[in-house]
Amino acid sequence: MLESSFVGAGASDGTFLTCLNSPEVVGNFTAGLTFYAENGFKAKGEYALSAGDSFVGQRASLRFAYHF
């Protein structure tokens, strides 16, 4: 627990306790594919995973482009 206060708050406004339960170690994994076509088309997909003790964060993206 950490005693906190808002920036610019006066002493009479008091403080509050904050708690952040986060893992000590987090593993990260990222994988992606990129496809190119002769006509200028490009597609890219990516997946990312972050995992730790009682923690999972995932992200996925898909992008398309046409170069002319």
- Note down pLDDT in tens along the chain; length 68 residues: 788 888 988 888 888 889 888 888 999 999 999 999 989 999 999 999 999 988 899 999 999 999 88
pLDDT at 43: 97
Q: Residue 40 corresponds to which amino acid? A: G
pTM: 0.63
Beta bridge partners of 35: 43
Angle at 30 between CA 59 and CA 20, to 5 degrees: 55
pLDDT at 25: 94
The answer to whether residues 21 and 12 touch, using CB atoms and an 8 Å cutoff, is no
CA distance 24 to 14: 31
CA distance 45 to 33: 5
